[in-house]
């Protein structure tokens, strides 16, 4: 699927695909991602609040290391498109409000139609399915903590409810050599919250030798 995307997609559709499956960003985060939140040489994307976008929660703030081939696609896009936002659009942004507004709705609709031809059948959440695929590969190659940190969830309980498991033919776009290790502080916070909420239980007695 990724190879086909690289061959068939371009512009906003390709970059939306890259940021969803390669960094686990939500649609609204992609739509309003400014270039100031992208470290092109390092291939790192920072998700943080802006004047045009409030995050879902405080835990949604984070830095995501892109796999090299995804980072390269973003650098190629940047060479030709360096406005305020990563995605180009004739539609101006709006000050953040409760009502969701996408600058690049046309591109998202077109990408969803193309994803349908590649086996993603969920009519209202095809781009979000790419985010789940990102998390599923982190969980398969590392653990649930890495997936939770990558999705920027508040607890691993949320990640479990998210049903992190791939329903798409495995793409193997992460390798153990290049996958970025999750932030240790983030993992400790997730573990503490899981313990507090009863989602993780430690043994009450010391295991026998």
The closest of 92, 116, 95, 120 to 104, measured between CA atoms, is 92
H runs (alpha helix) in 24-161? 27-31, 68-80, 105-116, 126-141, 144-151, 156-161
For position 8, which CATH number holds? 1.10.443.10
The answer to whether position 177 is within a domain reads: yes
For residues 174 and 61, what is the distance between their CA atoms, to the nearest angstrom?
A: 22
Distances (CA, A) of 119 to 30, 112, 133: 22, 11, 13
The answer to whether position 165 is within a domain reads: yes
The answer to whether position 71 is within a domain reads: yes
Domain count for the chain: 1
pLDDT tens, position by position, 116-165: 888 777 666 788 777 777 666 666 665 555 555 556 554 555 555 555 54
The answer to whether position 72 is within a domain reads: yes
The answer to whether position 208 is within a domain reads: no
Q: What is the pLDDT of residue 181?
A: 44
Most confident of 3-7, 93-97, 118-122, 141-145: 3-7
| Range(s) of the domain holding residue 106 | 2-89+101-196
The answer to whether position 94 is within a domain reads: no
The answer to whether position 204 is within a domain reads: no
For residues 8 and 2, what is the distance between their CA atoms, to the nearest angstrom?
A: 10
- What mean pLDDT value characterizes the chain? 74
The answer to whether position 59 is within a domain reads: yes
């Amino acid at each position: 699927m990724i190879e086909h995307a690289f061959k068939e997609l371009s512009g906003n559709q390709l970059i939306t695909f890259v940021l969803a499956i390669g960094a686990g960003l939500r649609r609204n985060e992609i739509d309003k991602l400014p270039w100031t939140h992208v470290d092109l040489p390092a291939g790192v994307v920072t998700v943080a609040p802006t004047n045009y976008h409030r995050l879902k929660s405080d835990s949604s703030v984070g830095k995501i290391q892109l796999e090299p081939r995804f980072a390269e696609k973003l650098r190629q896009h940047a060479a030709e498109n360096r406005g305020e936002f990563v995605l180009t659009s004739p539609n101006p942004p709006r000050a953040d409000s409760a009502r969701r507004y996408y600058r690049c709705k046309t591109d998202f609709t077109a990408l969803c139609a193309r994803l349908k031809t590649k086996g993603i059948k969920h009519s209202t959440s095809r781009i979000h399915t790419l985010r789940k695929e990102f998390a599923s590969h982190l969980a398969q190659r590392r653990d649930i903590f890495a997936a939770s940190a990558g999705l920027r969830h508040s607890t691993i309980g949320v990640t479990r409810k998210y049903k992190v498991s791939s329903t798409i033919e495995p793409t193997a776009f992460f390798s153990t050599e290049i996958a970025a290790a999750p932030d240790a502080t983030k993992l400790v916070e997730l573990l503490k919250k899981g313990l507090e909420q009863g989602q993780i239980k430690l043994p009450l007695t010391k295991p026998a030798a």
